[in-house]
Amino acid sequence: MADAKTNTEDYLQMYRQMVRIRAFEDNANQLYLDAKMPGLTHMYSGEEAVAVGICEALEVTDKITSTHRGHGHCVAKGAAFKEMFCELLGKEEGYCRGKGGSMHIADQSNGNLGANAIVGGSMGIATGSALRAKMQGSDDVTVCFFGDGATAQGLMYEVMNMAALWKLPVIYACENNGYSEYTKTDEIAAGEITARAEAFGIEAHQVDGQDVLAVNKLTTDLVQRARKGEGPFFIELMTYRYHGHHVGDINRTYYRTKDEEAEWKTKRDPIKLFGDWLTSEGIASEDDLAALGEGVRQEAADAVTYALAAPYPDGSEVDMHVFLEKT
Amino acid sequence: MRSITLSQAVNEAIAEEMRRDETVFLIGEDVAEAGTPFKVTSGLVEEFGTGRVIDTPIAEQGFMGLAVGAAMTGARPIVDLMFGDFLFLVMDQLCNQAAKTHYMSGGKLNVPLVLRTNLGATRRSAAQHSQSLHALVAHIPGLKVAMPSSAYEAKGLMKTAIRDDNPVVIFEDKLMYQDKAEVPEDEYLIPFGEAKVLREGRDVTLIGTSSMRQVCEAAAAMLEADGISAEVIDPRTISPLDEATILGSVKKTTRAIVVDEGHQNFGTTAEIAARISEKAFYHLDAPVIRMGAMDVPIPFSPALEDLTVPTAEKVAENARRLVAGELIHAL
Amino acid sequence: MPSEVKMPQLGMNQDSAVIVAWLKASGDKVTRGEPIFEVETDKATMEVEATSDGYLAGIRAEEGADIPVGDIIAMIVETADEVAEHASASVETTETSKSAEGEVEPEAKPEPEAAVTKTEETVPNESVETPAAAPRATSGPVLASPLAKRLAKERGVDLAALRASGLPEPIHAADLSRSVAGGQSQLSARVVADALAALLQRSQNADRTTLLAAFTAGAWRQVFDTVDVTIAIRGLDGATAQYPAPRDGETGTAAAISLVDLCDTRLQAYAPAGGGITISVGEGDSHFALTLSFNEASLPMPHAITLLDAIAARVEDPIRQLI
**Chain centroid to CA C246: how far?**
20
Give me the sheet containing A203-208, strands edge to edge: A112-116, A63-67, A142-147, A170-176, A233-238, A203-208
Find out whether A65 and A104 touch, Cβ atoms under 8 Å. Answer: no
- Evaluated on CA atoms B97, B98, B100, B103, the torsion sign reads positive
- Residue ranges of the domains in chain B? 3-182, 196-324
Nearest partner of B70 among B108, B48, B98, judged by Cα? B98
Pairing of the two strands B144-146 and B237-239: antiparallel
Q: How many CB atoms lie within 10 A of CB A120?
A: 22
Instruction: Please answer yes or no on whether B104 and A97 come within 8 Å at the CB atom.
Output: no
Find out whether A65 and A142 touch, Cβ atoms under 8 Å. Answer: yes
ipTM of the complex: 0.92
The CA-atom distances, in angstroms, between A17 and each of A284, B51, C227 are 15, 39, 73
Find out whether C217 and C228 touch, Cβ atoms under 8 Å. Answer: no
Nearest neighbour of A159 by CB, restricted to B51, B62, B92: B62
Find out whether A129 and A137 touch, Cβ atoms under 8 Å. Answer: no
Shortest alpha-carbon distance between residue A216 and chain B (Å) = 25
Instruction: Please answer yes or no on whether A113 and B71 come within 8 Å at the CB atom.
Output: no
CA distance B66 to B60: 10
Report which residue type is found at A137: G
* Chain B residues whose beta carbon lies within 8 Å of the beta carbon of residue C147: 254, 282-285
CA distance B146 to B134: 9
Tell me the per-residue pLDDT of C90-117, one tens digit each, with 9 for 90 and over: 444 333 333 334 334 444 434 433 333 3
How confident is residue C83, by pLDDT bands cut at 50, 70 and 90?
Answer: confident
Q: How many CB atoms lie within 10 A of CB B10?
A: 25
Instruction: Please answer yes or no on whether B70 and A132 come within 8 Å at the CB atom.
Output: yes
CA distance B230 to B201: 4
Q: Burial, B50: exposed, middle or buried (Cβ in 10 Å; 0-12, 13-18, 19+)? A: exposed
Tell whether A50 is covered by a domain: yes
Residue B88's contacts (CB-CB under 8 Å, 6 or more residues apart) are B133
The per-residue pLDDT for C222 is 87
Mean pLDDT score of chain B: 96
DSSP label at residue A100: S
The per-residue pLDDT for C67 is 86
In total, how many domains does chain A have? Answer: 1
Nearest neighbour of B109 by CB, restricted to A108, A154, A325: A108
CA distance A1 to C226: 85
CA distance A17 to A49: 9
The CATH T-level fold of domain C3-87 is: OB fold (Dihydrolipoamide Acetyltransferase, E2P) (2.40.50)
CA distance C215 to A11: 95
Nearest neighbour of C145 by CB, restricted to B202, B229, B285: B285
The per-residue pLDDT for C116 is 37
Q: Is there a common fold for B3-182 and B196-324?
A: yes
Shortest alpha-carbon distance between residue C171 and chain B (Å) = 8
Question: Which class is domain C185-322?
Answer: alpha beta
- The residue-averaged pLDDT of B52-77 equals 98
Q: How many CB atoms lie within 10 A of CB A251?
A: 7
- The residue-averaged pLDDT of B88-99 equals 98
The per-residue pLDDT for C138 is 60
For B225, which residue in chain C has the nearest alpha carbon?
Answer: C249
- H/E stretch holding B231 reads strand B230-234
Compute, in degrees rounded to 10, the torsion defined by CA atoms B260, B262, B265, B267: -70
* CATH number 3.40.50.920 given to B196-324: yes
How confident is residue B2, by pLDDT bands cut at 50, 70 and 90?
Answer: very high
The per-residue pLDDT for C13 is 56
Q: Give chain C's length.
A: 323
Tell me the per-residue pLDDT of B163-213, one tens digit each, with 9 for 90 and over: 999 999 999 999 999 999 999 999 999 999 999 999 999 999 999 999 999
Pairing of the two strands C16-22 and C66-68: antiparallel
Shortest alpha-carbon distance between residue A195 and chain B (Å) = 20
Nearest neighbour of A322 by CB, restricted to B23, B61, B103: B103
Nearest partner of B286 among B243, B245, B330, B234, judged by Cα? B330
The per-residue pLDDT for C133 is 39
* Chain C residues whose beta carbon lies within 8 Å of the beta carbon of residue B327: 104, 134-135, 143, 169-170
HEC readout, B85-137: HHHHHHHHHHHHHHHHHHHHCCCCCCCCCEEEEEECCCCCCCCCCCCCCHHHH
CA distance B12 to A91: 47
For residue C106, cis peptide bond before it (omega within 30 degrees of 0): no
Instruction: Please answer yes or no on whether B66 and A127 come within 8 Å at the CB atom.
Output: yes
Per DSSP, the residues of A126-192 read: HHHHHHHHHHTT----EEEEEEGGGGGSHHHHHHHHHHHHHT-SEEEEEEE-SEETTEEHHHH--S-
Report which residue type is found at B301: S
DSSP label at residue C171: B
Pairing of the two strands B3-5 and B24-28: unpaired
The per-residue pLDDT for C90 is 42
Pairing of the two strands B168-173 and B196-199: unpaired
Nearest neighbour of B282 by CB, restricted to C143, C150, C174: C150
CA distance C97 to C35: 24
CA distance B113 to B167: 5
Q: Give chain A's length.
A: 327
A175 forms beta bridges with A147, A237
| Residues 72 through 131 of chain B touching chain A, CB cutoff 8 Å | 72-75, 77, 92-93, 96-97, 101-110, 112
* Chain C residues whose beta carbon lies within 8 Å of the beta carbon of residue B229: 249-251
CA distance C304 to C224: 11
Instruction: Please answer yes or no on whether C103 and B326 come within 8 Å at the CB atom.
Output: yes
Nearest partner of B288 among B251, B313, B263, judged by Cα? B251
- Residue ranges of the domains in chain C? 3-87, 112-177, 185-322
The per-residue pLDDT for C181 is 67
**Percent of chain B surpassing pLDDT 90:** 96
**Chain centroid to CA B325: how far?**
32
Instruction: Please answer yes or no on whether B52 and A158 come within 8 Å at the CB atom.
Output: no
CA distance B238 to B258: 12
- CATH number reported for the structural domain that contains residue A50 in this entry: 3.40.50.970
Catalytic residue set of B: 60, 129
Q: Does A206 touch chain B (CB under 8 A)?
A: no
How confident is residue C176, by pLDDT bands cut at 50, 70 and 90?
Answer: confident
| Residues 45 through 64 of chain A touching chain B, CB cutoff 8 Å | 63
Give me the sheet containing B76-80, strands edge to edge: B53-55, B24-28, B76-80, B114-119, B168-173, B144-146, B237-239
* Chain B residues whose beta carbon lies within 8 Å of the beta carbon of residue A161: 57, 59, 62
The per-residue pLDDT for C251 is 55
**Percent of chain C surpassing pLDDT 90:** 18
- Evaluated on CA atoms A112, A115, A116, A122, the torsion sign reads positive
For B281, which residue in chain C has the nearest alpha carbon?
Answer: C146
- H/E stretch holding A301 reads helix A286-309
Q: Burial, C228: exposed, middle or buried (Cβ in 10 Å; 0-12, 13-18, 19+)? A: exposed
- Domain B3-182: CATH superfamily is Thiamin diphosphate (ThDP)-binding fold, Pyr/PP domains (3.40.50.970)
Report which residue type is found at B203: D
The per-residue pLDDT for C124 is 37
Residue A154's contacts (CB-CB under 8 Å, 6 or more residues apart) are B61
pLDDT tens for the 327 residues of chain A, in order:
334 345 889 999 999 999 999 999 999 999 999 999 999 899 999 999 999 999 999 999 999 999 999 999 999 999 999 999 999 999 999 999 999 999 999 999 999 999 999 999 999 999 999 999 999 999 999 999 999 999 999 999 999 999 999 999 999 999 999 999 999 999 999 999 999 999 999 999 999 999 999 999 999 999 999 999 999 999 999 999 999 999 888 889 999 999 999 999 999 999 999 999 999 999 999 999 999 999 999 999 999 999 999 999 999 999 999 999 876
Residue B71's contacts (CB-CB under 8 Å, 6 or more residues apart) are A128, B77, B98, B110, B111, B112, B113, B167
How confident is residue B119, by pLDDT bands cut at 50, 70 and 90?
Answer: very high
* Chain B residues whose beta carbon lies within 8 Å of the beta carbon of residue C170: 325, 327, 330
The per-residue pLDDT for C91 is 41
Helix, strand, coil shares, percent, chain C, to 5: 25, 25, 50
> Which residue, among B25, B104, B192, would best test binding to A if mutated, counting the most A CBs under 10 Å from its CB?
B104
Compute, in degrees rounded to 10, the torsion defined by CA atoms B58, B62, B64, B65: -170
Tell me the per-residue pLDDT of B252-309, one tens digit each, with 9 for 90 and over: 999 999 999 999 999 999 999 999 999 999 999 999 999 999 999 999 999 999 999 9
Tell me the per-residue pLDDT of C250-303, one tens digit each, with 9 for 90 and over: 555 677 899 999 999 989 898 887 678 999 999 988 899 999 998 888 888 888
For B278, which residue in chain C has the nearest alpha carbon?
Answer: C146
Could you tell me which chains touch chain B, where touching means 3 or more CB pairs under 8 A? A, C
